[in-house]
Amino acid sequence: MADLPDAATCYELLARMALIRRFEEEAGRQYQRAKAGGFLHLGIGEEATIVGTTSVMREEDFLIGTYRTHGHAIARGTEPKRVMAELFGKVDGTSGGRGGSMHIFDAEKRFMGGYGIVGGNLPIAAGLALGSQYKGEDAVTVCMFGDGASNTGNFGETMNLAALWKLPIFFLVENNLYGMGTSVERHSAQTDLSEKAEGYGIPGERIDGMDVIAVREGVEEGLRLAREEQRPTLLEAFTYRYRGHSAADPEVYRERDEVEEWQEKDPIETFARRCVEADVLGEREVQQVRDAADETVKAAVEFAEASPEPALETMYEELYARTEADGWYAVDERSPEPHRGERKDEIPAAARELAEAGAAYAGQEEGGSRRPNPALQGDVQEGVEERVESPDRAVEAEDEG
């Protein structure tokens, strides 16, 4: 077992985990009150994996997750009140109330969102890492996804590109043992998910995702390899969600005894007890953490309640990305200058020259003849005149007959 860090770090780790737990519990309660709309996926029990990962990330690093990401956003520094307001569908939410629980997003904190499509965040993570590499940034992209996502086509494609292009990216599988309601033994032929990317040249390792210190150490090394050596790696963290896949999950696929067994390994209680026994923290500090979490979440609910609903006339706003111009753009691969494709009179000189040269080559100069029929004239006909008659020869043969 790894040594505990200093008291200040332990206090912060415990405080973040306690806050996420309390937030998730309250989110579930507000969902039952019909205050939070849409779907709700809670991460209760997975706090050590979330906090252990984010605690060793730098501010410039990117984090991208799945649709169980309230805690990820909070751990990256997003205000809990804004996350709660987003669950409530209010204008002060992280996405103005338009994303809801499954699409928390905070670009300022470089938390690049949760995604409703299983495995949909994987290629986006590769794009983020490629962007950092292209711009010469000293940033790593951390991509967190569930065990079920390791079976998608996006997984293999992303692993291949990450290894091929040596992207500054770190993959973490939050293996909570179930892809929705299907156990990992039933949905994955290879149950050791840490080995799933080795065929693409990305080594993997397994860790205890219920131990915040073990997660910290594993992620820290993965970030170092990505940042300093441009080597993607994969970490499989064994964790567990105490609640169902979503708030609507009847949980008929697992026994209550299994849940209770995992609750005995609770990441918050275990870490708090360890800190007290090691005299790193006292019972007073542990209680302070719990009280602070209660107050923060209470204030978050009050904030969300007071935040206004989005105005009805804004329903169709921000559905599409808008550019400076109002037309389609065209780009010729031989010219770096984009131009409005439907406005011929405004194209740059270089693009005009290319267009005119292309038209001349095809025999389509303005006022000129039609382009030749490639079946009868052109390079493809060289040396095959004997096998393909021209229309004129066919007429001559008919006259002679």
- Residue (of 98, 127, 97) closest to 112 by Cα position: 127
pLDDT tens per residue across span 41-95: 999 999 999 999 999 999 999 999 999 999 999 999 999 999 999 999 999 999 9
Q: What pLDDT sits at residue 227?
A: 96
Give the model's confidence band at 338: pLDDT under 50 very low, under 70 low, under 90 confident, else very high: low
* Residues facing residue 339 across a β-bridge: 330
CA 349 centroid distance within chain? 41
Dihedral angle over CA of 200, 202, 206, 207, nearest 10: -150
Tokens of 89: 């569908």
pLDDT over threshold 50, residue 396:
no
Q: What pLDDT sits at residue 350?
A: 74
| d(C-alpha 267, C-alpha 285), whole Å | 17
Cα dist. 20→29, 43, 52, 81, 344 in Å?
A: 14, 8, 13, 12, 56
- Radius of gyration (C-alpha) of the chain in whole angstroms: 29
Residue 338 class from Cβ within 10 Å (0-12 exposed, 13-18 middle, 19+ buried)? middle
| d(C-alpha 34, C-alpha 8), whole Å | 39
pLDDT tens per residue across span 282-325: 999 999 999 999 999 999 999 999 999 999 888 888 777 665 55
| d(C-alpha 354, C-alpha 334), whole Å | 8
Structural contact between residues 183 and 165, judged by C-beta atoms closer than 8 angstroms: no
| d(C-alpha 226, C-alpha 168), whole Å | 5
Please state whether 299 falls in left (phi above 0), alpha (psi between -120 and 50) or beta.
alpha
User: Using the 8-state DSSP alphabet, how is residue 175 labeled?
Assistant: E
Cα dist. 41→21, 47, 172 in Å?
A: 13, 14, 19
CA 364 centroid distance within chain? 48
Structural contact between residues 44 and 243, judged by C-beta atoms closer than 8 angstroms: yes
* Residue 290 CB-half CA count within 13 A: 9
Structural contact between residues 51 and 17, judged by C-beta atoms closer than 8 angstroms: yes
Q: Which residue has the higher pLDDT, 340 or 354?
A: 354
pLDDT over threshold 90, residue 259:
yes
Q: Which residues are CB-neighbours of 354 under 8 A, at least 6 positions away?
A: 332, 334, 335
Burial profile 11-42: b = 16 or more Cβ within 10 angstroms, e = fewer = bebbbbbbbbbbbbebbbebbeeebbeeebbb
pLDDT over threshold 80, residue 401:
no
Q: Is residue 285 classed as helix, strand or coil in its secondary structure?
A: helix
Structural contact between residues 1 and 217, judged by C-beta atoms closer than 8 angstroms: no
What is the residue-wise DSSP string for 222-270? HHHHHHHH---EEEEEE---SS-SSTT---TTS-HHHHHHHHTT-HHHH
Q: Which residues are CB-neighbours of 185 under 8 A, at least 6 positions away?
A: 191
% of the chain surpassing 70 pLDDT: 83
Give the model's confidence band at 21: pLDDT under 50 very low, under 70 low, under 90 confident, else very high: very high
